[in-house]
Chain A
Amino acid sequence: MIHQYRNNGYNIVMDVNSGAVHAVDDVVYDAVALLAAEMPEIDMDGAGIPAELCGRTEKRLAEEYGYSAQDIADAMDDIRELVGAEQLFTKDIYHDYVIDFKKRKTVVKALCLHIAHDCNLACRYCFAEEGEYHGRRALMSFEVGKKALDFLIANSGNRKHLEVDFFGGEPLMNWDVVKRLVEYGRSQEAEYNKQFRFTLTTNGVLLNDEIMEFCNREMSNVVLSLDGRKEVNDRMRPFRKGAGSYDIIVPKFQKFAESRGQMNYYVRGTFTRYNLDFASDVLHFADLGFKQMSVEPVVASPDEPYAIRREDLPQILAEYDRLAVEYIKRKKEGRGFNFFHFMIDLNQGPCVAKRLSGCGSGTEYLAVTPWGDLYPCHQFVGQEQFLLGNVDEGITNTELRDEFKLVNVYAKDKCRDCFARFYCSGGCAANAWNYDGSITGAYEIGCEMQKKRIECAIMIKAALAEDEE
């Protein structure tokens, strides 16, 4: 399968099945399009591109496109070389692989601990309903958290790195338990040959020097919630009595990011229909001095006024393009930053097994409520039909677990023919459930944004690679 596009003056050709990505000139770009229309994949047992198809393509490139004989000959030589190297028109060879893959025994390697179902902000888009998750306010006790860590160790098989995110609500509202759980986790590492990677997602209201110092010692990553420009942030992230949170939080986050050496953190915002010009919010983060950031589309019921609608897509996609151009410019000027969705690892990226299995919700990744119930991920918490078990008995709803195990790009009709399938791995199961009524469905508005982000990320690679020459 070939996907090709033009962006910011670059011609990109992606050979989806091999993972190969090429920046090409106009002649190759047009030649690949003509060839792909007739022959999207080549069986390498055969003799490459049929001579008759080459002849017809060369003729069209000369007559319809007006390219010179030399340009056409060079382009076709390059294309044959790529085909020979299995970097163009390759076949999808992963269907059979995924059948074995479904039979695999899964381990649990990551937990999202809902350390506090309570919050000191009242963000208008909160899927956790201001921390309460369709339930009651509650703080996780140390005993429940300890059982969760024991459950993780016991169910992690040979996996060495275990991930635990302290999430909420607002986890700093239960800070003492966070510290005790980190201490407990560390005490178990040597005996079980495990290494915990703790992370924290916080709104920053309660951040202080002691917490920062602890996090810098113990947390491999921290996610700092802030939406961008003051007016944008304060509209959606007020305190319970209505006052904005920007002025209190920004200086703390700046100090925190600096104290971590501008690494291993993300300032993470949500954009909604109210700030479709969200590139300005990303750039605002950069202007505040942050180097690691993410701004992501809101997850909301379609009837909410702030929910993103299909008709907003043209503007959103144009914003990603605008951001990408500025991103390259600032990188080249030596004042670059990392935007989570533009980061892509083309050469040392995930293996195909990872790309097929996606996020691992419900199997490798589970969320734990304050009272110890297990859910497939934080987005499903509080929806009783997704209850998987609890920290005392483990996974009891194995039927549901197995449903999640089968979620992969080949199980999703809408993913099978999508060029982005090995980059997004089928997307978010919770989004698919919310918008499509099935965990093997797709959230199509999200898909359009994801595809654009991948295109931008690859174009950025091409632009920066050009500079390295």
Chain B
Amino acid sequence: MKKVKTLSGNTLKETMKKGGCGECQTSCQSACKTSCTVGNQSCENANR
């Protein structure tokens, strides 16, 4: 593509297949304790 740089492709839909294992960190346990921030966490699904 000449005019587009894709920073992230179509990923959300794909995660419906193998997602939901629940091994990832609970968001409030990370740093915040006052605001929910989920998008910055990493997936820990070993079978992803």
Question: B-contacting residues of A (Cβ < 8 Å)?
Answer: 17-25, 27-28, 71, 74-75, 77-78, 81-82, 85-87, 90, 93-94, 97, 101, 107, 109-110, 112, 159-161, 163, 165, 167, 197, 199, 201, 221, 223, 266, 268, 270, 294, 296-299, 340-341, 343-355, 358-361, 364-365, 377-379, 422-428, 431, 446, 450, 454, 457-458, 461-462, 465-466
Known: A201-B33, A355-B39, A426-B36. A347 touches B11 (CB 8 A): yes
**A354 in contact with B24 (CB, 8 Å):** yes
Residues of B within 8 A of A359 (CB): 26-28, 36, 38
Q: How far is the CA of A28 from the CA of B2 in the complex (A)?
A: 10
Interface flags for B7-45 (1: CB within 8 Å of A; 0: not) read 111111101101111111111111111111111111111
Question: A-contacting residues of B (Cβ < 8 Å)?
Answer: 1-13, 15-16, 18-45
**B7 in contact with A19 (CB, 8 Å):** no
Residues of B within 8 A of A465 (CB): 5, 7
**A24 in contact with B4 (CB, 8 Å):** yes
Residues of A within 8 A of B5 (CB): 22-24, 462, 465-466
Q: Is chain A's interface secondary structure helix, strand, loop, or mixed overall?
A: mixed
**B4 in contact with A423 (CB, 8 Å):** no
Q: How far is the CA of A402 from the CA of B2 in the complex (A)?
A: 50
Residues of A within 8 A of B11 (CB): 18-20, 346-347, 349
Min CB distance, B39 to chain A, in Å?
Answer: 3
Q: How far is the CA of A237 from the CA of B10 in the complex (A)?
A: 45
Known: A23-B4, A163-B29, A431-B35. A90 touches B10 (CB 8 A): yes
Min CB distance, B16 to chain A, in Å?
Answer: 6
**B38 in contact with A423 (CB, 8 Å):** yes
The 8 Å CB contact of B19, one of A197, A345, A353, is A353
Q: How far is the CA of A272 from the CA of B30 in the complex (A)?
A: 21
Q: How far is the CA of A22 from the CA of B5 in the complex (A)?
A: 6
Min CB distance, A212 to chain B, in Å?
Answer: 19
**A110 in contact with B29 (CB, 8 Å):** yes
